[in-house]
A and B are shown apart, each in its own frame.
Chain A
Amino acid sequence: MNFDRIKEKLEILADAAKYDVSCSSSGGKRKNNGGLGDSSASGICHTYTEDGRCVSLLKILLTNHCIYDCIYCVSRKSNDIKRAAFTVEEVVDLTISFYRRNYIEGLFLSSGIFKDADTTMERLVRVAKKLRTEHNFNGYIHLKSIPGASDDLMNEAALYADRLSVNLEIPTESGLKLLAPDKNREDMLQPMRIVQKGIQQYKDEKKIIRSTPKFAPAGQSTQMIVGATNENDLQIIKVADHFYKNYGMKRVYYSGYIPVTVDNRLPAITAEVPVLRENRLYQSDWLMRFYGFKADEILDFNMPFLDLEVDPKLSWALRHLDQFPVNLQTADYKMILRIPGIGVKTAQKILSARQFQVLTIDHLKKLGAAVNRAKYFIDFTYGNPFLKHLTDLNLRKLILSGSQSKFQNQFSQQLTLF
């Protein structure tokens, strides 16, 4: 193996793959049977890059040669960059050697589209197949579904991969037309449907025959670029909601657009990455998946963008003050989850601790709640002096300023007497 050449390829093809956000390695269910690797437990981040992102998988492109010219993509045909391609054996060797040293949980293999969709997909499947059948590799494998790939190839891919994903990239169809004129939405949706159908079939068969071969056990995910076109947040979370509900997506990722090229259809090359907006979208995503919020509770037509100043849950609470205060001792789990400053874990701890005693604000602090926000929305059995601010027109300001409550002012006046 020519080491210098491999190193150069790795540098080119890792650099081109880095814009894919997903690095999740959870949900795999493969146990080790005397071979290499085990993905039956939860995912592991083996390191973090300097931008603070988790590195769990070896994330590379098979090749960055591409027949498409999607304007937002570095690997687009018209871009003048160094091109490279790995052989199947090279990818397999890198994956195995990195895995044995505990650098990674597995492989995330994507690719530029060379020649046509099926040729590309077939090559991706061959890598996964070799790892599973020749090397008895039970680590995690995430393959990209190539838009337009045939149903048979998708079904075969799902036998070897733990997760499959197609990136929507542009949330709306009109945006896609503008920025990626050669691509169409339908080509992206078809592989998703095939995999979704297969997963359902697998679940049904599994009930009858225990030894049914695994079929993409970690499900599917997708990704949308935020801020390349002019969609509003309501459109974005509606799209996400649609894919969670109708395609059984495990995750939707949001990726703040990083300027890669000068083009009047795109934000200026000097534009900042919209990191805060991206963060608020993830918070909304969590609210939909773990906190029982519906998409149209988070945003509506009168308010199509997420509030950048406060998080979406606090924003909801401020718009629905009539639902508060919530009594910690008696309220149900669903409502406790809606209190700003209380997360899933704290809510569960509250439920178990309140069976033993009457909770006070001191307990809440120890249980891990963000009391500076939560205290305005909660009623305790023994009362709560902060509740008088609940009707205050300045509640939002009060919470933002954190500690500068009127309550404290009174206190400090007393202190000055001494």
Chain B
Amino acid sequence: MTTLLYDGTFDGLFTAIFEVFEYRYQDAEIRNRENFQQENMFAEIHEVVTQQEKSERVLNKLEKSIGKSGINDLLRVYLSEDLELEQLIFSAVKQSIKHPNENILQNFANDDILKIAKICKSVSRERHRMTAFIRFEKMQDDIYFAKIDPDFNVLPLIRKHFKDRYADQKWMIYDLRRHYGLFYDLENCDFFYPDEKLNLNLYQEKFHDEEKRYQTLWQSYFTKTNIRERKNAKLHIQHVPKRYWKYLTEKYNS
């Protein structure tokens, strides 16, 4: 058995897949170098150096059979940070190469494919929730700032959504768990990776003068638009799970 170690990037993963075929390994597994501990002492280690060219060759080939949306699905599996993500993506690629004229991602009766479909669903749901639950707070410098803590690494998936939506205001979204963010300055919308964690103590003191007022208005709207006679706490929590409450302006007081 050969264990291929890659650098944790999407291109790295597909370089590794390319090299499995290049070196004709019969029995191979792909692991992220960062969290790899050798368990199988008989496994041979193959260090992968990420090469975009190799990765693109695999992706282009794949796109012919599973389409753009299929590639998107595999990207979602990658962003899920699932412990089995390498194995699942590798399995999908192998199946696709075996059946190049079919879209194997449609074969939901296969366990790996079904798992991929489920992960995609979870990631898409989290992505959708971020488009819904992100709350911007206007700062003194007129930047609308939001902090998030998503279960999956969905920031790359929401960039376009927010860029299309807020074209005439500066905004920033910061992922607290993964310590990076997105910043739009009225022209460009880029990722940024601060050397140190952003210090968010006392950041409320830097609110724009009007910020608290609009937060209060939103909170009273939220209370008043509820129909008390129809209270349904179970349904409420099902739609807005408690782990998201800490970032919802309307939930600050509960």
Does B225 have its Cβ within 8 Å of any Cβ on chain A? yes
Question: Cβ of B135 and Cβ of A103 under 8 Å apart?
Answer: yes
Q: Which of A267-289 contact B (CB under 8 A)?
A: 273, 275
Does A232 have its Cβ within 8 Å of any Cβ on chain B? no
Q: Which of B210-254 contact A (CB under 8 A)?
A: 210, 213-214, 216-218, 220-222, 224-236, 238-240, 248-250
Known: A35-B167, A100-B136, A353-B108. A52 touches B239 (CB 8 A): yes
Does B183 have its Cβ within 8 Å of any Cβ on chain A? no
Known: A36-B166, A136-B168. A17 touches B144 (CB 8 A): no
Known: A51-B232, A100-B166. A7 touches B137 (CB 8 A): no
Contact partner of A102 among B110, B136, B217, B238, CB < 8 A?
B136
Question: Cβ of A58 and Cβ of B109 under 8 Å apart?
Answer: no
Known: A18-B226, A44-B131, A100-B136. A10 touches B221 (CB 8 A): yes
Q: Give 1 or 0 for each of A364-391: 1 = CB within 8 Å of chain B CB.
A: 0011000000000000000000000000
Does A45 have its Cβ within 8 Å of any Cβ on chain B? yes
Q: Give 1 or 0 for each of A1-22: 1 = CB within 8 Å of chain B CB.
A: 0010011001100110111000
Chain A residues bordering chain B, tally (CB within 8 A)? 56
Question: Cβ of B135 and Cβ of A32 under 8 Å apart?
Answer: no
Question: Cβ of B222 and Cβ of A38 under 8 Å apart?
Answer: no
Complex CA–CA separation, A58 to B138 (angstroms)? 19
Q: Which of B108-123 contact A (CB under 8 A)?
A: 108-110, 114
Does B45 have its Cβ within 8 Å of any Cβ on chain A? no
Complex CA–CA separation, A49 to B169 (angstroms)? 28
Question: Cβ of A35 and Cβ of B168 under 8 Å apart?
Answer: yes
Does B180 have its Cβ within 8 Å of any Cβ on chain A? no
Chain B residues bordering chain A, tally (CB within 8 A)? 53
Does A92 have its Cβ within 8 Å of any Cβ on chain B? no
The distance from the CB of B144 to the nearest CB of chain A, in whole angstroms, is: 6
Chain B residues, Cβ within 8 Å of A48: 235-236, 239-240
Q: Which of B102, B128, B233, B250 has the most CB of A within 10 A?
A: B250
Contact partner of A103 among B167, B210, B218, B220, CB < 8 A?
B218
Complex CA–CA separation, A251 to B144 (angstroms)? 35
Question: Cβ of B217 and Cβ of A6 under 8 Å apart?
Answer: yes
Question: Cβ of B214 and Cβ of A97 under 8 Å apart?
Answer: yes
Does A55 have its Cβ within 8 Å of any Cβ on chain B? yes
**Given A33-B167, A47-B222, A356-B109, 5 further pairs, Cβ under 8 A:** A59-B225, A100-B138, A100-B144, A353-B109, A366-B108
Query: 4 tightest A-B contacts by CB?
Result: A52-B235, A49-B226, A51-B230, A52-B232
Supply 10 A–B pairs (Cβ within 8 Å), ascending by A: A32-B164, A35-B168, A36-B168, A38-B164, A47-B133, A51-B230, A136-B168, A258-B229, A349-B108, A355-B106
